[in-house]
Amino acid sequence: MSARTLPLLFLNLGGEMLYILDQRLRAQSIPGEKARKDEWTDVDRKRVMNDIITTMFNKKFMEELFKPQELYSKKALRTVYDRLAHASIMRLNQASMDKLYDLMTMAFKYQVLLCPRPKDILLVTFNHLDTIKDFICDSPGILNQVDETFRQLIETYSCLSAGEFQLIRQTLLIFFQDMHIRVSIFLKDKVQNSNGRFVLPISGPVPWGTEVPGLIRVFNHNGDEVKRTEFTTDGNYVTPQREGSFDLYGDRVLKLGTNMYSVSRPVETHMSGSSKNLASHAKENTVPNPLAKEEMDFLARLLGGLEVKTPGGSETGFRLNLFTTDEEEEHAALTRPEELSYKVINIEATQEPGRRAELSRILGELEVAEPRPASSGKGEDLLALMDGL
């Protein structure tokens, strides 16, 4: 519905992805001097985070993203994150990638649902960007890119009305409808029920600009207040203390969108959700949508056109596992319910001439002036990577 939803969806999901990857990389990292050639070090972790963030905040990509457009399909978006996660030396198996995507989407769904005001989705986005800036605080070049995106967000969204933000929120909620994957950290914190549905509190501060429910005021025909009455409900609300900041820097007040993972709070998922609902939703996604695929191909090309580090030597050493053991990962891949599989679209290297011409024209207009490695094997690696998705 709203044509301004995609940047918020992309940036927030991207932020959650970075939180999870950062936590898993820290959990699996080994001190530099003790590490073998195939083990993660802190240096590797920083490099992966830098590479992914650089790719995510690429200037041309952001320009495309911010153009008014409809949301991509779930499959198309999933494929973009697949590419993003592989923008560095890190590799993820299908099962780990599935789990990563489940966690990202359920986390952002929770944040959208619990936002006090629709406009607060912007604060959630700022929370993600603030933390991303912490990840790359040592790299001024990338920091600049992120700040640029920050400014673009402020420019695009500060003038939107509450009604337009609610439309954005409704568009996001339609995107997340029927997703009830249980996330261990949410279950433990009692923000999600065992049936996968989120707990909606009926206490706490009311949104900024809303009054605590209870008062009825009656006015006469002169406009004077002539009567006040009160009513009570089961809710237990209080007035909020202050509003979060919508500036480049500031106290956001809202905690939604901040990093809830740490090494002591590991990342786990239960594969579940009543299959009936998900089956009906999965059915809708299997209808091929040529327009979305075209857009997605275009995006993937943009991402694919950037410098990608290819792993040298043995591949397995640079693989990140979202599960605690390899066996667990294998088991998850085998037992993933059919209706929850994302059916990632394969990006075809060869396309129909007509479409290819159109995309080449667009790509030509947005030629990225980044140096490409001279090695002739590079192009083949890229295509192989794209085909392998």
Q: Which is nearer to other proteins, 94 or 176 (CB)?
A: 176
> Whole-angstrom Cα distance, residue 231 to residue 212?
11
> Whole-angstrom Cα distance, residue 43 to residue 372?
24
> Whole-angstrom Cα distance, residue 177 to residue 197?
11
Q: Which is nearer to other proteins, 28 or 152 (CB)?
A: 152
Q: Which is nearer to other proteins, 71 or 129 (CB)?
A: 71
Contact positions toward other proteins, by CB under 8 A?
Answer: 1-4, 67-68, 70, 113, 116, 118, 161-164, 166-167, 169-170, 173-174, 177-178, 180, 193, 197-200, 202, 206-207, 209-221, 223, 226-229, 231, 233-235, 237, 277, 280, 284, 287, 289-292
CA 167 to each of CA 74, 160, 175, 344: distance values in angstroms, whole numbers, following the listed order: 19, 11, 12, 28
Tokens matching residue 229: 């009455």
Q: Where are the strands (E) in the chain, listed by range? A: 182-183, 203-205, 215-219, 225-230, 236-238, 269-270
> Whole-angstrom Cα distance, residue 69 to residue 2?
8
Give the shortest CB-230-to-other proteins separation in angstroms: 8
Give the shortest CB-293-to-other proteins separation in angstroms: 11
Q: Which is nearer to other proteins, 236 or 316 (CB)?
A: 236
Q: Which residues contact 116 (CB under 8 A, 6 or more apart)?
A: 205, 206, 207, 208, 210, 240, 254
Q: Which is nearer to other proteins, 107 or 320 (CB)?
A: 107
Give the shortest CB-77-to-other proteins separation in angstroms: 15
Give the shortest CB-153-to-other proteins separation in angstroms: 16
CB 69 within 8 A of CB 75: no
Q: Which is nearer to other proteins, 281 or 336 (CB)?
A: 281
Q: Which is nearer to other proteins, 227 or 242 (CB)?
A: 227
Give the shortest CB-308-to-other proteins separation in angstroms: 31
Give the shortest CB-221-to-other proteins separation in angstroms: 6
> Whole-angstrom Cα distance, residue 97 to residue 322?
8
Give the shortest CB-120-to-other proteins separation in angstroms: 11
Largest CA distance in the chain: 84
